[in-house]
């Protein structure tokens, strides 16, 4: 029987599904990320690794698994933590979990957008801190969301789901995506495709939904932040390095933009120095897809990918399906 190593605790239905097939499933119950050496050792001894975004599945790990390891099933839609080209060279399938987290993540991008625009977290801290001494007409003024301009950077599944929600707020919707055309989706929500410069200059809320690839690293840096309106907000639920976090801290300090709401960071779990001291930010710990239902679906989807590979079938969501043709 093939064996599976799960690098950290995941929702139980994913494990149950694998065990129901009779596979040997071992789990790192400590729930702390394995070292690179431990990952190499697991890659060499197991037929499948079920990984999380905190695992760095680099060439050395994959090479250690070459000949034994058949699949790395990442429990995340993003797979920038895995050297997919190296996996392809080694004949190892890589899978991710697209689709199941789209709506949950879009909900959360909106949660952040509204929280930062309407100063929800500041208001909560103000109240808890005993500073609410009586109502005031100028107290904690934020910016409207209704009928404002939303700029969506990256118009894939999640970007489109964010756009769909914006129609309920009668927003003007702009999007920038150099790869995806998505004309039909854009037409359905009345979104306009523009260059990044136009999006930055015209939007009141800029929300980022690109994968992390070399072309998107620091896509939003100081030059881009300088183009934004001084009343605009930046929201990032994609991957931290898409935004130059140091530049963002500087831009917020200099009031180049009004605020930012981040769920992802350049060097997780550490924030860039100064970030947590800024009041005009909402900072959450990478939880955009963290609903009970969605995390369970992600875990079972990863399990289904492993099962398919073990049963000689095409895994539902391979990122390097070319391996199967080899």
Which residues form the catalytic set? 239, 268, 286
Site for ligand GLV contains 300 (CB under 6 A): no
Helices (H), ranges, 96-190: 102-117, 120-128, 157-167, 183-189
- Contacts of residues 104-108 at CB distance under 8 Å and 24 or more positions apart, as own/partner, are 104/288, 104/289, 104/290, 104/291, 104/293, 104/294, 105/158, 105/161, 105/237, 105/288, 105/289, 106/158, 106/161, 106/162, 106/164, 106/165, 107/165, 108/237, 108/263, 108/284, 108/287, 108/288, 108/289, 108/290
Residue 158 Cβ vs ligand GLV, minimum distance, rounded to whole Å: 10
Residue 52 Cβ vs ligand GLV, minimum distance, rounded to whole Å: 9
Closer residue to ligand GLV (CB): 71 or 101: 101
Residue 9 Cβ vs ligand GLV, minimum distance, rounded to whole Å: 16
Return the residues of window 209-248 that contact ligand GLV according to CB under 6 A. none
Closer residue to ligand GLV (CB): 103 or 250: 103
Task: Please count the residues of this chain forming the interface with ligand GLV, following the rule CB under 6 A.
Answer: 6
Q: In what order do the strands lie in the sheet with 24-27?
A: 24-27, 3-6, 48-51, 71-74, 93-95
Find the binder of ligand GLV among 18, 76, 186, 234 (CB under 6 A).
76
- Binding flags for ligand GLV, 144-183, as an x/- string (CB under 6 A): ----------------------------------------
CA-nearest of 10, 20, 69, 43 to 309 is 69
- Binding flags for ligand GLV, 78-97, as an x/- string (CB under 6 A): x-------------------
Site for ligand GLV contains 320 (CB under 6 A): no
Positions in the binding site for ligand GLV (CB under 6 A): 53, 76-78, 101, 289
């Amino acid at each position: 029987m093939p064996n599976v190593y799960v690098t950290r605790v995941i929702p139980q239905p994913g494990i149950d599904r694998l065990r129901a097939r009779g596979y040997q499933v071992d789990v790192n119950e400590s729930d702390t990320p394995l070292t690179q050496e431990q990952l190499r050792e697991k890659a060499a001894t197991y037929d499948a690794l079920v990984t999380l975004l905190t695992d760095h599945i680099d060439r050395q790990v994959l090479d250690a698994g070459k000949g034994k390891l058949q699949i790395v099933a990442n429990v995340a839609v993003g797979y920038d933590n895995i050297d997919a080209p190296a996996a392809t060279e080694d004949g190892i399938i890589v899978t991710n979990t697209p689709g199941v987290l789209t709506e949950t993540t879009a909900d959360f991008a909106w949660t952040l957008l509204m929280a930062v625009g309407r100063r929800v977290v500041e208001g909560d801290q103000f109240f808890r801190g005993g500073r609410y001494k009586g109502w005031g007409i100028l107290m904690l003024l934020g910016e409207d969301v209704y009928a404002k301009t939303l700029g969506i950077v990256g118009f894939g599944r999640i970007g489109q789901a964010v756009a769909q929600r914006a129609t309920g707020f009668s927003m003007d919707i702009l999007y920038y995506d150099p790869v995806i055309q998505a004309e039909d989706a854009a037409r359905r929500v009345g979104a306009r495709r523009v260059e990044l410069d136009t999006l930055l200059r015209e939007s009141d809320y800029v929300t980022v939904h690109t994968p992390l690839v070399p072309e998107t690293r620091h896509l939003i840096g100081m030059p881009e932040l300088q183009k934004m309106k001084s009343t605009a907000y930046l929201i990032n639920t994609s991957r931290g390095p898409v935004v130059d976090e140091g530049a963002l801290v500087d831009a917020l300090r200099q009031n180049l933009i009004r605020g930012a709401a981040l769920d992802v960071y350049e060097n997780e779990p550490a924030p860039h120095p100064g970030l947590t001291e800024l009041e005009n930010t909402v900072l959450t710990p990478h939880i955009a897809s963290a609903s009970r239902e969605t995390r369970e679906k992600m875990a079972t989807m990863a399990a289904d990918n492993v099962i398919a590979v073990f049963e000689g079938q095409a895994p539902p969501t391979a990122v390097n399906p070319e391996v199967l043709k080899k």
